[in-house]
Amino acid sequence: MPETATISTIPAEALEALRRIVGESSVLSAHEQVLVYECDGFVIEKNTPDCVVFPETTEHVVAIVKLCNEYKIPFVPRGAGTSLAGGCLPVGGGVMIALTRMRGIHDVNLRDHYAVVGPGTVNVHLTQHLKGTGFHYAPDPSSQGACTIGGNVATNSGGPHTLKYGVTVNHVLGAEVVLPDGEVVQFGGYTEDNPGFDLTGLFVGSEGTFGVCTKVIVRLTRDPVAYRTMLGVFETVEDATQAISGIIGAGIVPAALELMDQGIIEAVEPAFHFGFPLDAGAVLLIEVDGLEVAVDGEAEQIVALCEQNNAREVRKADSPQQRDLLWKCRKKAFGAIGRLSPSYCTQDGVVPRTKLPEILKFITEASARHDIRIVNVFHAGDGNIHPILLFDERDAEQIKRVLLASDEILNRCIELGGSVTGEHGIGVEKINFMNKLFTEADLETMESVRLAFNPTGLCSPQKMLPTAGACGMEHIEKSHPARRAAL
Amino acid sequence: MTTTESSDEFTPATTDEARDFLAENAAGAGRAIFPVGGRTALHYGYASTQPGIAFSTLRLNRTIDYPARDMTITVEAGIRMDELTEILKAEGQRLPIDVPQSSRATLGGVLATNTSGPRRFGFGTLRDYLIGISSIDATGKTFSAGGRVVKNVAGYDLCKLMIGSLGTLAVITQATLKVIPQPEASRILWCAAADWQAVETALENLLTSATRPVALEVLNANAAHEIAAEARLDLPADGPVLCIGFEGATRETEWETETMTAELQTAGIRDVAVVADAEPLWFALTDFATSSDEPLTFQANLRPSRLVEFAELATSAGVSLAAHAGNGIVIGHLPDTVTTLDAAVKILSPLQTLAHEADGNLVIFDCDETWKQTIPVFGQSRQDRALMQRIKQQLDPRDILNPGRVFTKNAVSAAQ
């Protein structure tokens, strides 16, 4: 195919109409242009959209969605594409609505504790905007330097501070949404406890299947007065997880409790030179925050609990610079993995916190069984594990083993009473787990709720529910071209 | 409402019995079903549009699983809130939701009505704690959502949909909750302000306070007298009262009450009393929402910055009022002197207008049933109402669960 050729299968007149709506330069349809949008952070499944449009206003989104309805073209919203489960994969092509230009911070109201932002606002930009006000937006996914708040809303993102502050839904007061038929509605609002059903709560985490978010009203949180950030160094992962149980069991809710195992330390240390001991089995990044009068007591208790659980040492970040570097190591850990492997697949299982030792042992065994190196960095306080499977995506045999190991790990999470996703979502990646997590009746109910929002199924088709428009397996086959090829 | 008038009641002992009953009813007679728990909130919403059967969850009250070290608990929906509190207390844990009439109220009812109280400022509401749910819909289909782990984004979050849905979508049978540790200490600081302007100044100053209160209540003098009497405390209440709660480690709450006392003085409030045994006062503040013999009880939600303006207007009309000031939630009781619909409307109309202007709403919790023909129980119509009705239609196609309670067919209703 010539590089400049248009591969769109949508009618030329529809493409023309899209250009009229948003302007010539805001529609991409050439093959090399849309190739960038063939996947998100989940690189195993790929499919190009027919075209990508960049609306700048709610009115643009309405016009695009109405046009898609007119021509019966599927459409899928997309933020920065940092999602990790194929949530914005354009299954079946169609129009991709990229919301990155709707990035305005429209209003900040400290007295009423909210900000109104466009869905394309990069998470960290809001944090930077609020610096010095005494308030912040609490959800801080590790990808916050790139991911958008609209995307966070779609996936109900968490982050290292979820343990104390909760996930995205706990910080969203309302949303303006263009429904799949083009109608604009506002869920929630500037105030709490609006009468009627909590459609804001339902919308957050619906992975783009209920409509296109065009505005988000987020709750702002007071900055903590004081932090104590610590690094517990352990000989073994088991000791580290026992320490976690000890800390939580003592009634302390740290602001963050993150575990990095030896494998990930090997990647992070050469990249950031924090001084992580390369021979340690695991390190725990522990942060408590709150009042100056309270944090020292909690920190002392945590140090004692780590020591009781055989910590080799517990270091305290004694300057803001050291704290920043420690957090940089954690948040950019994924970026450092490039030092270990050309490709990686991050899993996102969850187990009850007390089952962490069990699942980590299972991961080690699965790694050996399938000869796939797996390293771990995760939100231990929530029981949310992120085994990172290292492989070379040019080798189909390795992909096959990665998928098998991933499936085994996630199945084990279910057996231990957990879930297959703590924060990345179902997308297309985990659709075949839905039948294991939920009964047919559960899925039917979810489907019926989706039908209330999205009766034609044109908005983000083939996502999340295996029952969507077909019986389970057909759907899985349709949305998993690469997986089918690998297996 | 009709539920209380009906002698027909079904009280299943197991969820299977509950499911079979609903399925048979849906497949057969299709009579209206009114889910009830502790019957503390039957007055909330419109009266049913048809007679039917009360469906009591009271025998569904078992603890299914309590892995205390994971800080989650799974219980059946008919469990009384006091009982749940005791179970959690034995492990040094709690669900930090203030529930009026907690000896009667059931968890299912509390979820269905989205109940909250003063400590929502510090700890959030039920939507922050419910992580898994099982329900039976109006066709007799049992469905679950969420799970038993604290972090989970698999599938649609039907937990959120069920919270506050007033039993119109499904009967909640089981819930899994995230819980938190009991605090070491709990203290309340009570102070009377000279006037409403002083309250506003204090609230603005609180935005930059060095302390982190878990409750921020504003009471007018009427409510303050009532609450102090209920808690059997002799507290100052000459004008508006600010009531600020702190919880945490003992030295933390001591430091906070001392610091706050100093901060309030700079805001011009001097008459400060620290209530060390806070428990009776927490109860009184919580139970204020359900004072039983008032002619009308409402809840307004508005921007916190408009709260003092609203409180001043309501107070001048004789309303007894307590507000979760940090959240913009106001609970008000109309005075006993209001005995007619006209008198009620005269007081409510300007308050409704102000709530709407402040991007919120005014919802009636309780009043004479006949008044509901005129007063819009759920306030101003919301833009997403049609979508809500489509969801109701999906889960309850024959409209047998609490028919008319939210989506009333009453001719005069701003909620329509």
Same domain, A478 and A343: yes
Nearest by CB to B161, from A197, A384, A423: name it: A197
Domain boundaries, chain B: 1-182+381-416, 185-286, 296-379
Contact B156 A446 (CB under 8 A): yes
Sheet holding A27-28, edge to edge: A27-28, A51-53, A95-98, A75-78
Q: What is the CATH number of the domain that holds A459?
A: 3.30.70.2740
Q: What is the largest CA-CA distance in chain B?
A: 68
* A375 domain residue, yes or no: yes
**Nearest C-alpha neighbor of A351 from the set A413, A405, A406, A411:** A413
Residue A86 backbone class (left: φ over 0; alpha: ψ -120 to 50; beta: rest): left
| Chain A: residue whose CA lies nearest to B306 | A112
CB contacts of A431 in chain B (<8 Å) are: none
Within this chain, do residues A86 and A209 fall inside the same structural domain, yes or no? Answer: no
Q: Which residue shows structure tokens 């250009």?
A: A19
- Give the closest-approach CA distance of B181 to chain A in angstroms: 5
Indicate the residue among A41, A70, A98 that finishes a domain.
A98
**A327 confidence band (pLDDT: 50, 70, 90):** confident
A423 with B208: Cβ contact below 8 A: no
Identify the band that residue B409 occupies on the pLDDT scale cut at 50, 70 and 90.
Answer: low
List C-alpha distances in Å: A34 to A46, A71, A82, A171, B16.
12, 20, 16, 33, 52
Distance from CA of A487 to the nearest CA of B (A): 25
* Average of per-residue pLDDT across B255-279: 91
Backbone angles phi, psi at A437, to 5 degrees: -80, -30
CB nearest to A156's CB, from B153, B210, B390: B153
Q: How close does chain A come to B360, measured CA to CA in Å?
A: 6
Residues on chain B touching A193 (C-beta within 8 angstroms): 114, 116, 125, 299, 301, 327, 329
CA B183 to chain A, closest CA, distance in angstroms equals: 9
Prediction ipTM score:
0.96
Coil, helix or strand at residue B341? helix
| Mean pLDDT across chain B | 93
For A248, the 3-state DSSP assignment is helix
Burial of A304 (0-12, 13-18, 19+ CB in 10 A): middle
Tokens of A200: 């804001």
Mean pLDDT for chain A overall = 91
CA distance A141 to chain B (A): 14
A349: Cβ–Cβ under 8 A, 6 or more apart, which residues? A359, A384, A385, A387, A409, A410, A412, A413, A418, A419, A420, A421, A422
A84 & A205 share domain: no
Q: Provide mean pLDDT across the span A270-292.
A: 91
CATH of the domain at A248: 3.30.70.2190
Distance from CA of B194 to the nearest CA of A (A): 22
Q: Is residue A57 part of a domain?
A: yes
Q: Are residues A362 and A482 in the same domain?
A: yes
A7, part of any domain: no
pLDDT band at B314 (very low <50, low <70, confident <90, very high): very high
Domain count, chain A: 4
Domain B1-182+381-416, second-level architecture: 2-Layer Sandwich (3.30)
Q: Reply yes or no on domain B185-286 having CATH 3.40.50.150.
A: no
> B55: which strand partners?
B10, B35
pLDDT tens per residue, range B93-132: 999 999 999 999 999 999 999 999 999 999 999 999 999 9
Which one is predicted more confidently, B299 or A268?
B299
Contact list, A459 vs chain B (CB under 8 Å): none
Q: In this predicted structure, what is the pLDDT of residue A486?
A: 57
Q: Do A169 and A231 fall within a single domain?
A: no
At A127-158, the pLDDT tens digits run 999 999 999 999 999 899 999 999 999 999 98
Q: What residues of B are in contact with residue A426 (Cβ under 8 Å)?
A: 153-155
Inter-chain residue contact B158 with A225, CB threshold 8 Å: no
Q: Is there a common fold for B185-286 and B296-379?
A: yes
Query: pLDDT at residue B171 above 80?
Result: yes
A438 touches chain B (CB under 8 A): yes
What CATH number matches the domain at B296-379, 3.30.160, 3.40.50, 3.90.120, 3.30.70? 3.30.70
User: For residue B292, which amino acid is it?
Assistant: S
Q: What is the pLDDT of residue A318?
A: 82
Which residues in chain B have their CB less than 8 angstroms from residue A109's CB?
Answer: 305
Residue A204 counted as domain residue = yes
3-state secondary structure of A336: helix
Residue A484's pLDDT band, with cuts at 50, 70 and 90, is low
**What is the nearest CA distance from A423 to chain B, expressed in angstroms?**
6
d(CA A413, CA A410): 5
Q: Tell me, what's the pLDDT at A326? A: 85
**Nearest to residue B247, comparing CAs of B173, B313, B188?**
B188
Cα distance between residue A467 and residue A461, in whole Å:
11
Q: Which of A187, A422, A426 sits opposite B151 (nearest CB)?
A: A422
Closest partner residue to B155 (CB to CB) among A162, A252, A434 is A434
pTM: 0.95
Q: Do A191 and B360 touch (CB under 8 A)?
A: yes
pLDDT for B4: 43
DSSP codes, B223-247: HHHHHHHHTT-----SS-EEEEEEE
Of A63, A98, A133, the one marking the end of a domain is A98
Among A277, A311, A332, which residue terminates a domain? Answer: A332
Say yes or no: A297 and A191 in one domain.
Answer: no
| pLDDT at residue number A4 | 35
Q: Which chain B residue is nearest to residue A210, measuring alpha carbons?
A: B156
Whether the predicted pLDDT of B413 surpasses 50: no
Q: In the predicted model, is pLDDT for residue A8 greater than 70?
A: no
Q: What confidence tens digit (pLDDT) does each residue in A382-391 have?
A: 999 999 999 9
The two three-digit tokens of residue B65, written as one number: 């699983």
Beta carbons of B70 and A423 less than 8 Å apart: no
A101 DSSP assignment: T
Using the beta-carbon criterion (under 8 Å), do B359 and A191 form an inter-chain contact?
A: yes
% of chain A exceeding 70 in pLDDT = 94
- Which residue range is the domain that position A366 belongs to? 338-486
Tell me, yes or no, whether A59 lies in a domain.
yes
Output the six-digit token pair for B135.
């329900």
CATH number of the domain where residue A175 is located: 3.30.465.10
Closest partner residue to A191 (CB to CB) among B145, B302, B415 is B302
Give the pLDDT of residue A481: 54
Q: Which residues contact residue A435 at a Cβ distance below 8 angstroms, ignoring those fewer than 6 apart?
A: A443, A466, A472
pLDDT at A285: 93
The string of pLDDT tens digits covering residues B176-189 is 999 999 999 999 99
pLDDT over 90 percentage in chain B: 88
> B211 to chain A: which residues are within 8 Å by CB?
291
Whether pLDDT at A121 is above 90:
yes
Domain shared by A473 and A342, yes or no? yes
pLDDT, position A92:
86
At A1, the pLDDT band (50, 70, 90 cuts) reads very low
Q: Are residues A471 and A343 part of one domain? A: yes
CB of A274 less than 8 A from some CB of B: no
Q: Is the pLDDT of residue A441 over 60?
A: yes
Which of the four pLDDT bands, split at 50, 70 and 90, describes residue A487? low
Spatial CA neighbour of B137 closest among B393, B404, B416, B415: B393
Q: What is the mean pLDDT of residues A459-483?
A: 63
We report the CATH number of the domain holding residue A56 as 3.30.43.10
